[in-house]
Amino acid sequence: MEYTRATWNENHKRLRELLKKKSTFDSAINLFLDQHARIHSSDVSGIDCITFEDELWEGMDEITFRTGQNKKGRTVAYGMWHSTRIEDITMNILVDGEKQVIDQENWLKRINSSIYDTGNALDENEILKFSQTIDMQALRDYRKAVGRKTREIVHRLEYADLKRKVSELGLEKIIELGAVANDEAAIWLIDFWGKKTVAGVLLMPVTRHHMVHINESMEAKKRGLRKIKKR
C-alpha cells in the first residue's frame, strides 16, 4: 500500500495516543522514529524508501532553492533552515540539555547563513536576501546531523522523560544565545515551548513542524520550476 501524507497524518494521531501510556512506550518510540525518518532524508535513518524530504530535493536546482517562493513568500532555503533550527534548538537545549548541533563543527560558517536564529522575524524580502547566501549542500548536511542527533536522544529516553516539562534554564539559554530573535514575530516561541512536555516537543515541532515546512517548500519548488520554464 502506498505511504502517503494522509498515512503520515493518521500515524501522527496514533503517536499522540501511544505517547500517553507506559504500556505503549516502546510502540510510541518506534512509531516516532518512523514518523521522523519520513520527514528527513533517508540517509538519516537508513529507511528503505523515498522520504518526503527526498522527494523535495529530487530535481532541485540552486535557482529554485533560492528564489522559488510559496504563497507566503518562503523559499526552500528558508523552510529547510527554519524547521531544522527549531528541531536543533528544542531537542538539544530543551530536551537533552546539551549544545545545539549548529554550535559544533563550524556549521554556521559552513552553511554561510546570515542569521543564527530561527528566521521567524524575516519578511518576504529578507527571506529572499537570506536565501542567496546559503550553501545548499551544507544545509542538507546540517539537517542530517540534526536528525541523527535527535534519534540518538530519543533512543535514550525513558517513559518518565515524556512527562517532563521542558527546562526553564533551557528557555533562558535560548534567549541568551539569540537562537530565537527578540522580536514579536519570534519571541512567542519561548512561551509556546515553555508549556510543553518532552512528549509534546516530539509531536510538535520535531515531527509535525517539519511536515508543514516540507509541504510549503514543495509549493515553493513547484512555483519556482514553473517560473524557470516560462523564461
Residue 195 C-alpha from the chain's centroid? 19
The radius of gyration computed from the CA coordinates of the chain, to the nearest angstrom, equals 17
Q: What is the DSSP string of 115-155?
A: -SS--TT--HHHHHHHHHH--HHHHHHHHHHHHHHHHHHHH
Summarize pLDDT for 24-74 with one digit per residue, the tens.
999 999 999 999 999 999 999 999 999 999 999 999 999 999 999 999 999
pLDDT bin (cut points 50, 70, 90) of residue 229 is confident
CB 92 within 8 A of CB 98: yes
Residue 161 to residue 164: CA distance in whole angstroms: 5
When the pLDDT of each residue in the chain is averaged and rounded to a whole number, the result is 97
Q: What is the pLDDT of residue 1?
A: 66
Give me the sign of the Cα torsion angle 30, 142, 105, 169: negative
Is the pTM higher than 0.85? The answer reads: yes
Summarize pLDDT for 71-125 with one digit per residue, the tens.
999 999 999 999 999 999 999 999 999 999 999 999 999 999 999 999 999 999 9
Q: What is the pLDDT of residue 228?
A: 76
Domain boundaries, the chain: 62-230
Residues in the chain: 231
CB 119 within 8 A of CB 130: yes
Summarize pLDDT for 177-213 with one digit per residue, the tens.
999 999 999 999 999 999 999 999 999 999 999 999 9
- Return the CATH number of 62-230, one of 1.20.210.10, 3.40.50.12660, 1.20.120.450, 1.10.8.50: 1.20.120.450
